Amino acid sequence: MTPQRGLLACLVAAVSLLAAALFWDEQRQFEHAVKDLTEEQVTLATAVAADVETRLARLEDAGHFSDASHTDSTIAQLLGGAIKLERRGARLLLVARPDEDLLLQTDGRKVESKTLLTAMRAGVSGVVLDRAEAVQLGLPPRIALAGIETVRRKGGTWGVVVLMSGERLRARERYAQLRFLLSLGLVTAIVVWLGGIAIRQQHRKLEVARALEVSALQRDRERLLAKADKMATLAALSSGIAHEVATPLSTILARVEQVLPSVADDARASAALHVSIEQVARIQAIIRGVLGLARGEMPPLVRAEPHTIVMAAADLSAHRFAQAGVQLVLDLEERLPDISCDPPMLEQALTNLLLNACDASARGTSVRLSARTDVSTLRLVVEDEGEGISPETAARANEPFFTTKARGRGNGLGLAITREIVSHHGGQLRLEPRSPARGTRGVIELPCL
């Protein structure tokens, strides 16, 4: 779901909840109004019944009231001044005579209402009638509210009903509905206005984020193009160097092999020539490896011990450390898991880091080479005590031909080749300043077997 749709859904949910809350509140108010008006009719019915009871007692005491005198005129006399409560079309007075299933109105009409008679016999004081029952009793087609009270005399139980139309409630309900719609409309307008502002702001943020993403993609594309161009240059340069170096190396190898039989009796000279042959083979392997990296080829990987790789790199760079007066300190775990690698290429990558650390170190300082395992990762760390490296320089140090060394001391290819070698081995190369100590830390991380 997009942020705009999520925000729109929240706005719709908020308006729906608000509408439900307002509707529930209006319903509660309507129910309370019905209850209040019903109680009002009950109060009136109680007062009228008390007056009717007093009048019945007088008639009975004077002997003017007998079963034969249950006439309509007598009923009207019993109601007396209570008749003034009536408002045609709004409120009616009804009387239930003993042992009779009809209700007598003040105008002499007899009407039937099973709901009222049932409530009266059950002792219920307040009743709400539906529209059909209200019309049957002569009221408008609205709900009707009835207050019921009984009078017990010698002749039986009389019932008094004060019945009121719910027309007032209808008017109040219409006003409540209008208020509900106006409130809902106002709140909806405010929510939509605020939501529109939020959606516009979100849209602007998304546009800015999209523009930044496009800009970042363009920068990444330009960087990749620049890298590809430099790698192409490196490939061409490597090819040229390999072609130019191949002939001298072949000549050196041929001369060494030619001289080797003549010094067979001199163990020291023979060993030196064998070392020369090995180093020529190593140079040829490194050249082939660099050409393969420049072409994007994967190096052939074999199982190897990290100790062997580290010691070989240390031996290769030992003469440079001796010349610079810098001490190389080895700190290796006793047992390191094997790794899958191209040993000559990985030795060259580690040697490049050692030589860079040596060049950055002053005479009398030291460079530490440590090897540790972390879960399933081999970490080869080279730390020097030089000037250190800035984050900006660290970010560009792996670029081909980028160097901070003086002219003639570096061509900017060592770290670029190192990064490619480590990357082709499924690892990572990081350069970072040491903290809090002074100097630079180079880290090669490789997966263990």
CA distance 390 to 387: 10
Residue 53, pLDDT score: 83
Is residue 421 classed as helix, strand or coil in its secondary structure?
A: helix
For 16-61, the pLDDT digits (tens) are: 777 777 777 777 877 888 888 888 889 988 888 888 888 777 777 7
Amino acid code (one letter) for 321: F
For 312-327, the pLDDT digits (tens) are: 999 888 888 999 999 9
Residue 5 has pLDDT above 70, yes or no: no
CA distance 258 to 245: 20
CA distance 25 to 27: 5
CA distance 140 to 229: 94
Is residue 342 classed as helix, strand or coil in its secondary structure?
A: coil
Q: How sure is the predictor about 431, in pLDDT bands with cuts at 50, 70 and 90?
A: confident
Residue 66 has pLDDT above 60, yes or no: no
CA distance 365 to 324: 10
CATH number for 3-165 (one of 3.40.50.150, 2.40.128.280, 3.30.450.20, 2.60.40.10): it is: 3.30.450.20
Q: Which two tokens stand for residue 337?
A: 């898991």
For 134-158, the pLDDT digits (tens) are: 888 888 888 899 999 998 877 788 8
Residue 445 has pLDDT above 90, yes or no: yes
Q: How sure is the predictor about 7, in pLDDT bands with cuts at 50, 70 and 90?
A: low
- Per-residue burial over 175-199, b if 16 or more Cβ lie within 10 Å, else e, is ebeeeeeeeeeeebeebeeebeebb
Q: Which two tokens stand for residue 314?
A: 């240390």
Q: How sure is the predictor about 77, in pLDDT bands with cuts at 50, 70 and 90?
A: low
What mean pLDDT value characterizes the chain? 79
**Tally of CB atoms within 10 A around 372:** 14
Question: Taking residues 373-380, what's their average pLDDT?
Answer: 88
Residue 67, pLDDT score: 47
Q: Please, are residues 96 and 161 in contact by the beta-carbon 8 Å criterion?
A: yes
Question: Taking residues 336-346, what's their average pLDDT?
Answer: 89
For 407-419, the pLDDT digits (tens) are: 555 555 677 778 8
Q: Which residue has the higher pLDDT, 290 or 402?
A: 290
Cα dihedral across residues 7, 8, 9, 15: positive or negative = positive
Amino acid code (one letter) for 49: A
Amino acid code (one letter) for 198: A
Q: Please, are residues 446 and 377 in contact by the beta-carbon 8 Å criterion?
A: yes
CA distance 400 to 110: 112
Residue 69, pLDDT score: 45
> Which residue, among 132, 161, 136, 156, has the nearest Cα to 146 in the 3D structure?
161
Q: How sure is the predictor about 85, in pLDDT bands with cuts at 50, 70 and 90?
A: confident
Residue 309, pLDDT score: 92
For 218-253, the pLDDT digits (tens) are: 887 777 656 655 555 666 566 666 666 767 777 787
Q: How sure is the predictor about 367, in pLDDT bands with cuts at 50, 70 and 90?
A: very high
Can you tell me which residue has the tokens 């017990």? 152
Residue 345 has pLDDT above 80, yes or no: yes
Residues 6+ apart with CB under 8 A from 331: 368, 369, 370, 371
Residues 6+ apart with CB under 8 A from 56: 65, 78, 151, 153, 158
Residue 365, pLDDT score: 93
Q: Does domain 298-447 have CATH number 3.30.565.10?
A: yes
Residue 329 has pLDDT above 80, yes or no: yes
Residue 68, pLDDT score: 38
Is residue 16 classed as helix, strand or coil in its secondary structure?
A: helix
Question: Taking residues 394-403, what's their average pLDDT?
Answer: 62
Choice among 2-11, 133-142, 358-367, 439-448 with the minimum mean pLDDT: 2-11
Q: How sure is the predictor about 443, in pLDDT bands with cuts at 50, 70 and 90?
A: very high
Residue 14 has pLDDT above 80, yes or no: no
Residue 2, pLDDT score: 62
Question: Taking residues 393-409, what's their average pLDDT?
Answer: 60
**pTM for this prediction:** 0.43
Where are the domains positioned within the chain? 3-165, 298-447
Residue 447 has pLDDT above 50, yes or no: yes
Residue 84, pLDDT score: 76
CA distance 308 to 314: 10
Q: Please, are residues 277 and 256 in contact by the beta-carbon 8 Å criterion?
A: yes
Percent of residues, the chain, with pLDDT higher than 90: 13
> Which residue, among 78, 156, 86, 161, has the nearest Cα to 120 in the 3D structure?
161
> Which residue, among 311, 395, 411, 420, has the nearest Cα to 359 in the 3D structure?
411
Question: Taking residues 110-130, what's their average pLDDT?
Answer: 89
Q: 111 forms bridges with which residues in the sheet?
A: 103
Distances (CA, A) of 321 to 92, 237, 324, 326, 329: 118, 28, 5, 5, 11
